[in-house]
């Protein structure tokens, strides 16, 4: 039996209950022309199927529940404007699909303009360990002879080539190789003592 509108325009009957035949899996649902009762009946009969529909569209069950709840709230607010209450379920489905599309469009915009993530910052522990290692290396460098220390600093901290180191120190390239090799061996020995 279809809904019938109240006799007086704008009046909401309180005792009129008729049957809305939902063409889905819900079967016949008793509802009234009153928005509260009608939406409550539609909600209890169709909420799960509408959430499944939205979940398939938005790929997220939490967002799907929000979409369906928003559709029911909108239907409740606009119940008086609904021309054919027999098509309330169709209206809800269309509303869920449209709101799901809006969610997907919003996600696309957010992803497009999302700020690039900052590189992972090292933990405080890693920073502390790194500082200890650097201070150990600096202390070990101070224990080396001057020429070896100069060769290592120019090579590994200033990132100079052998020719540039030789020119800066005023020695031959062979002497640079010798000082660098001896300095690395001595540095290794000193650092092993710290460990």
Percent of the chain past pLDDT 70, that is, above it, reads 82
Mean pLDDT of the chain: 81
* Whether 182 contacts 148, CB under 8 Å: yes
The average pLDDT across 166-181 equals: 93
For residue 101, pLDDT beyond 70: yes
Q: Which two tokens stand for residue 140?
A: 């070990």
Output the pLDDT for position 93.
94
CATH architecture assignment, domain 34-114: Orthogonal Bundle (1.10)
Q: What is the pLDDT of residues 19-42, one digit of tens each?
A: 343 334 444 444 445 889 999 999
Residue intervals in the chain for CATH 1.10.10.10: 135-194
Confidence of residue 84 (pLDDT cuts 50, 70, 90): confident
> If 0-12 CB within 10 Å is exposed, 13-18 middle and 19+ buried, where does residue 177 land?
middle
**Least confident segment among 10-14, 102-106, 171-175:** 10-14
CA 153 – CA 144 distance, rounded (Å)? 11
Q: Where are the alpha helices (DSSP H) in the chain?
A: 35-58, 61-77, 88-112, 124-142, 146-152, 162-169, 173-194
Residue intervals in the chain for CATH 1.10.1740: 34-114
CA 7 – CA 11 distance, rounded (Å)? 8
Class of domain 135-194: mainly alpha
Confidence of residue 195 (pLDDT cuts 50, 70, 90): low
């Amino acid at each position: 039996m279809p809904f019938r509108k109240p006799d007086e325009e704008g009046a909401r009957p309180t005792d009129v209950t008729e049957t809305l035949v939902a063409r889905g899996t819900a079967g016949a649902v008793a509802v009234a022309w009153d928005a509260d009762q009608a939406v409550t009946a539609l909600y209890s009969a169709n909420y799960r199927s509408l959430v499944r529909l939205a979940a398939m569209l938005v790929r997220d069950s939490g967002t799907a529940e929000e979409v369906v709840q928003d559709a029911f709230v909108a239907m409740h607010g606009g119940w008086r404007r609904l021309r054919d209450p027999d098509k309330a379920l169709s209206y809800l489905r269309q509303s869920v699909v449209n709101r799901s599309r809006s969610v997907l469009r919003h996600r696309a915009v957010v992803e497009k303009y999302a700020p690039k993530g900052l590189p992972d910052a090292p933990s405080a522990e890693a920073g502390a360990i790194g500082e200890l290692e650097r201070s150990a290396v600096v202390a070990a460098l101070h224990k080396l002879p001057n020429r070896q220390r100069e060769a290592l600093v120019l090579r590994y901290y200033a990132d100079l080539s052998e020719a540039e180191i030789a020119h800066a120190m005023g020695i031959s390239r062979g002497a640079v190789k010798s000082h660098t090799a001896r300095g690395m061996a001595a540095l290794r020995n000193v650092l092993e003592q710290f460990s």
